[in-house]
């Protein structure tokens, strides 16, 4: 039996890596689906991605949403609306 504990961050990193490695067309389809769901059910979606959601759900949805947008124009903004990366590089480094 393995006594090592797998943290939420290891889980989120693994999910992010799988999504980023997926075919770009499939990531785009996921992006469109997330955006459509956010538009059709904004209260549910924004609750699930907001600070009142349980921690795992909040981090899971944010990880999935940002990972499927890698390398796209909406990389910094999607349904969840991350702020664009334009801060001071020394204080707020952009990915």
Handedness of CA 83, 86, 88, 92 (dihedral sign): positive
- As a three-state string, the secondary structure of 50-75 is CCCCCHHHHHHHHHHHHHCCCCCHHH
pLDDT of residue 76: 46
pLDDT of residue 25: 92
Q: Per residue in 40-69, pLDDT tens?
A: 999 999 988 888 888 878 888 888 888 887
pLDDT of residue 86: 52
Taking the domains of the chain in order of start, what are their residue ranges? 26-72
- The pTM for the full model equals 0.59
């Amino acid at each position: 039996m393995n006594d090592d504990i797998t943290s939420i961050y290891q889980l989120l990193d693994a999910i992010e890596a799988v999504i980023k490695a997926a075919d770009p067309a499939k990531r785009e389809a996921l992006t469109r689906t997330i955006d459509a769901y956010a538009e059709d059910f904004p209260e549910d979606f924004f609750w699930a991605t907001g600070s009142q959601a349980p921690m795992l759900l909040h981090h899971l949805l944010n990880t999935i949403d940002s990972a499927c947008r890698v390398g796209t124009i909406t990389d910094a903004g999607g349904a969840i609306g991350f702020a664009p990366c334009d801060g001071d590089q020394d204080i707020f480094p952009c990915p």
